[in-house]
């Protein structure tokens, strides 16, 4: 598809941070722009600080434009400017599966029906994506001559296309479940992970964190360290053992059945005699532990969703967890879903416990609750219909623990894999790239800037028993962007995409030299053929505005440094002639450690509304 991979057009996202010059952006805490013309400042989010994301402002670097090569150029501000922008578009990535879970190939645009709040929409662009095959750039509404794609050299580094963040919930999962998760993770890394993917690993307990990388050995080493880690103790090891669902029902809903179950569980486990008053006190203490663990897990998911939003490609978060209760108020759960929808992050979940029969009567290892001893005022059967209560509590506990996983998955366009012993298959299905997917785009008509959520639905013209998975919706902007804001948003979206767009004749070259044993100076030169530009006549001057953005990523797609330069052309007739003959060039310089990087260059012309976004790899070694 065109400029944004795996997320909606930025113009349709509610801004969360006010940014000078380049407009607001929904990649929260990812981008920040300084007020200097020469500096493009980007906040770099760190995954290792699990208590909060560590953000560092990059230091200014030297950059210069070859303005001296353009005689007759003026530095005066533009009097009038015609900004041409494309219409707002929403991208919807769709995976269609048959009854066996296999992705369905061969579908065409006319096979799909797309609805926005129940209203049918016209699909303006349609692409088919397969792993390892670049997405073609669709024809745009502006008139331009596409530039032929230059094939990368044999040693070129292709930017990652897909980012997978594996979140292992070791604060709620059993040891056996984590062992299965670990083995499934190893098999995914060895058999399914592709060179175009980068994987990060983090645990909810905070004891493991590995940044996005393609290094399988580093990831496997992290998986080996995976083990249960219960902060504040594990209530399931207490006497009596009761679930988060039971204590939630007792403490927050004053459910008499929950209180009875706690007492029956204590009797079945041979715990010291427990009265109703003691059961209430026990439940309150256990609820505090469970609530803290649940909130810690949800806060981590919120931070990781924000972190993943900065990844320049498809964004997938896989939560491996048996599930847990989101204690009220659960507003943080809504915030995670909203953040994921705005940033194009797909959240899926996997229950590593496998096929589950919640009934304690079906598991010889479980203790069966029994009637507690009678106390004053009770009859001999203090808990009527105890077997039915036990079955009901067991079933409700499983449903409640799965509720968070299901809601996160279904609300963001992901899938919830559960009640299945083939954990290896499940993780491969959730974390691996589908064999084929489809990208639909549409432009909402008369979109109001009210910040409201728009529910999307994708159907097949003829279902044929297939299952359709797609994002559930998008948020309208809170304010209408002017032409300048839309243009800036296009540039921002292009920077954090990995797709190449060639609407302007741009060439990028790199050269480096050693500064000291640990540092090199990388020069990035950009040349634009001015014959492709359209100039606006203002008096005796020929005007145009150009935006150049140069960003350096490491080979795993982590941001390193970046600059932005805006060039205002005010050319006399003679200056225009020389510019058309010699072209326009800029030069940026970056100080980098030895390593492999890829450079993302985005160039936009305001008069034509055309944009090019190119990737160039460089290997710095000495």
Render pLDDT for 321-357 as a digit per residue (tens, 0 to 9): 999 999 987 788 888 988 888 788 899 999 999 888 7
Q: In whole angstroms, what separates CA 459 from the centre of its chain?
A: 24
Cα dist from 171 to 74, 99, 167, 296, 304, whole Å: 62, 34, 11, 9, 16
Residue from 346, 355, 359 nearest 319 by CA = 346
The answer, yes or no, to whether residue 8 has pLDDT greater than 50, is no
Judge whether 395 and 358 are in contact, CB under 8 Å. yes
Buried (b) or exposed (e) across 436-447, using 16+ Cβ within 10 A?
A: bbbbbbbbbeeb
Q: Which of 19-23, 362-366, 471-475 has the highest mean pLDDT?
A: 471-475
The answer, yes or no, to whether residue 230 has pLDDT greater than 90, is no
Question: What confidence category does residue 41 fall into, taking pLDDT thresholds of 50, 70 and 90?
Answer: very low
The answer, yes or no, to whether residue 152 has pLDDT greater than 90, is no
The answer, yes or no, to whether residue 261 has pLDDT greater than 70, is yes
Higher per-residue confidence, 181 vs 74: 181
Determine the pLDDT at residue 483.
Answer: 66
Determine the pLDDT at residue 567.
Answer: 94
End-to-end CA distance of the chain: give it in Å, rounded: 38
Buried (b) or exposed (e) across 130-157, using 16+ Cβ within 10 A?
A: ebeeebebeebeeebeebeeeeeeeeeb
Average pLDDT over residues 173-200: 90
Residues 6+ apart with CB under 8 A from 106: none
Residues 6+ apart with CB under 8 A from 485: 11, 23, 24
Question: What confidence category does residue 73 fall into, taking pLDDT thresholds of 50, 70 and 90?
Answer: very low
Question: What confidence category does residue 573 fall into, taking pLDDT thresholds of 50, 70 and 90?
Answer: very high
Question: What confidence category does residue 496 fall into, taking pLDDT thresholds of 50, 70 and 90?
Answer: confident
Determine the pLDDT at residue 364.
Answer: 61
Residue from 211, 474, 206 nearest 340 by CA = 474
Angle at 187 between CA 183 and CA 193, to 5 degrees: 135
Question: What confidence category does residue 429 fall into, taking pLDDT thresholds of 50, 70 and 90?
Answer: confident
Name the percent of the chain lying above pLDDT 70. 77
The answer, yes or no, to whether residue 241 has pLDDT greater than 50, is yes
Determine the pLDDT at residue 27.
Answer: 26
The answer, yes or no, to whether residue 139 has pLDDT greater than 60, is no
Domains delineated in the chain: 10-131+436-620 (2.60.40.3880), 235-286+362-392 (no CATH)
Determine the pLDDT at residue 12.
Answer: 25
180 three-class SS: helix
Higher per-residue confidence, 316 vs 7: 316
Question: What confidence category does residue 419 fall into, taking pLDDT thresholds of 50, 70 and 90?
Answer: very high
Average pLDDT over residues 2-11: 32
The answer, yes or no, to whether residue 61 has pLDDT greater than 60, is no
Q: Which of 42-56, 151-165, 398-412, 576-590 has the lowest mean pLDDT?
A: 42-56
Name the percent of the chain lying above pLDDT 90. 44
Residue from 446, 165, 472 nearest 344 by CA = 472
Determine the pLDDT at residue 62.
Answer: 31
Residue from 335, 401, 439 nearest 93 by CA = 439
Judge whether 408 and 337 are in contact, CB under 8 Å. yes
The answer, yes or no, to whether residue 414 has pLDDT greater than 90, is no
Question: What confidence category does residue 463 fall into, taking pLDDT thresholds of 50, 70 and 90?
Answer: confident
Q: What is the DSSP letter of 131?
A: T
The DSSP bridge partners found for residue 320 are: 168, 350
Determine the pLDDT at residue 459.
Answer: 95
The answer, yes or no, to whether residue 565 has pLDDT greater than 90, is yes
Average pLDDT, the chain: 78
Q: Which of 113-117, 300-304, 419-423, 607-611 has the lowest mean pLDDT?
A: 607-611
The DSSP bridge partners found for residue 163 are: 198, 315
Determine the pLDDT at residue 362.
Answer: 67
119 three-class SS: strand
Question: What confidence category does residue 497 fall into, taking pLDDT thresholds of 50, 70 and 90?
Answer: confident
Determine the pLDDT at residue 343.
Answer: 81
For 92-101, what is each residue's pLDDT tens digit?
Answer: 889 899 988 8
Average pLDDT over residues 312-326: 92
């Amino acid at each position: 598809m065109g400029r944004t991979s795996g997320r909606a057009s930025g113009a349709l996202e509610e801004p969360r941070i006010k940014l000078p010059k380049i407009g607001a952006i929904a990649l929260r805490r990812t981008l920040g722009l300084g007020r200097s013309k020469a500096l493009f400042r980007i906040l770099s989010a760190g995954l290792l600080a699990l208590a909060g994301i560590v953000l560092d402002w990059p230091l200014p670097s030297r950059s210069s434009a070859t303005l001296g090569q353009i005689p007759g150029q003026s530095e005066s501000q533009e009097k009038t400017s015609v900004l041409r922008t494309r219409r707002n578009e929403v991208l919807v990535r769709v995976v269609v599966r048959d009854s066996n879970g296999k992705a369905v190939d061969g579908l065409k645009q006319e096979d799909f029906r797309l609805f926005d709040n129940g209203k049918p929409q016209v699909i303006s662009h349609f692409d088919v994506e397969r792993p390892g095959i670049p997405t073609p750039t669709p024809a745009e509404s502006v008139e331009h001559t596409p530039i032929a794609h230059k094939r990368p050299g044999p040693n070129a580094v292709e930017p990652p296309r897909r980012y997978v963040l594996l979140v292992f919930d070791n604060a709620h999962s059993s040891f056996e479940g984590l062992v299965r998760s670990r083995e499934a993770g190893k098999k995914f890394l060895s058999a399914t992970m592709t060179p175009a993917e980068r994987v990060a690993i983090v645990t909810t307990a905070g004891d493991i964190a590995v940044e996005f990388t393609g290094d399988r050995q580093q990831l496997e080493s992290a998986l080996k360290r995976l083990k249960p880690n219960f902060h504040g103790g594990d209530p399931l090891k207490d006497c009596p053992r009761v679930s988060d669902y039971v204590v939630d029902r007792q403490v927050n809903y004053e459910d008499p059945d929950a209180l009875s179950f706690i007492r029956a569980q204590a009797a079945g486990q041979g715990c010291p005699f427990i009265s109703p008053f003691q059961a209430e006190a026990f439940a309150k203490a256990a609820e505090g532990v469970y609530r803290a663990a649940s909130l810690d897990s949800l806060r981590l998911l919120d931070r990781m969703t924000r972190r993943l939003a900065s990844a320049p490609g498809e964004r997938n978060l896989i939560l491996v967890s048996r599930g847990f209760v989101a204690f009220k108020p659960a507003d943080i759960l809504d915030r995670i879903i909203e953040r994921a929808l705005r940033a194009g992050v797909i959240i899926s979940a996997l229950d590593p416990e496998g096929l589950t029969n919640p009934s304690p009567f079906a598991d010889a290892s479980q203790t069966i609750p029994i009637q507690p001893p009678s106390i004053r005022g009770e009859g001999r059967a203090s808990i009527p219909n105890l077997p039915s209560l036990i079955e009901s509590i067991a079933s409700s506990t499983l449903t409640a623990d799965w509720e968070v996983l299901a809601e996160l998955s279904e609300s963001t366009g992901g899938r919830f894999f559960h009640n299945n012993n083939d954990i290896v298959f499940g993780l491969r299905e959730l974390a691996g790239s589908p064999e084929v997917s489809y990208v639909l785009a549409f432009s909402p008509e008369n979109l109001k800037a009210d910040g409201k959520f728009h529910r999307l639905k994708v159907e097949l013209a003829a279902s044929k028993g297939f299952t359709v998975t797609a994002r559930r919706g998008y948020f309208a902007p809170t304010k209408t962007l002017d032409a300048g804001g839309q243009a800036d948003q296009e540039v921002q979206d292009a920077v954090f995409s990995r797709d190449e767009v060639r609407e302007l004749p741009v060439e990028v070259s790199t050269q480096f030299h050693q500064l000291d044993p640990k540092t090199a100076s990388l020069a990035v030169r950009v040349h634009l053929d001015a014959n492709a530009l359209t100039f606006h006549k203002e008096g005796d001057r020929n005007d145009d505005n150009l935006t150049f953005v140069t960003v350096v990523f490491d080979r795993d797609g982590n941001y390193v440094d970046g600059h932005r330069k805006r060039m205002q052309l005010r050319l006399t007739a003679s200056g225009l002639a020389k510019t058309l003959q010699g072209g326009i060039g800029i030069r940026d310089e970056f100080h980098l450690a030895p390593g492999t990087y890829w450079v993302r260059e985005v160039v936009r012309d305001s008069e034509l509304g055309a944009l090019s976004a190119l990737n160039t790899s460089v290997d710095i070694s000495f």
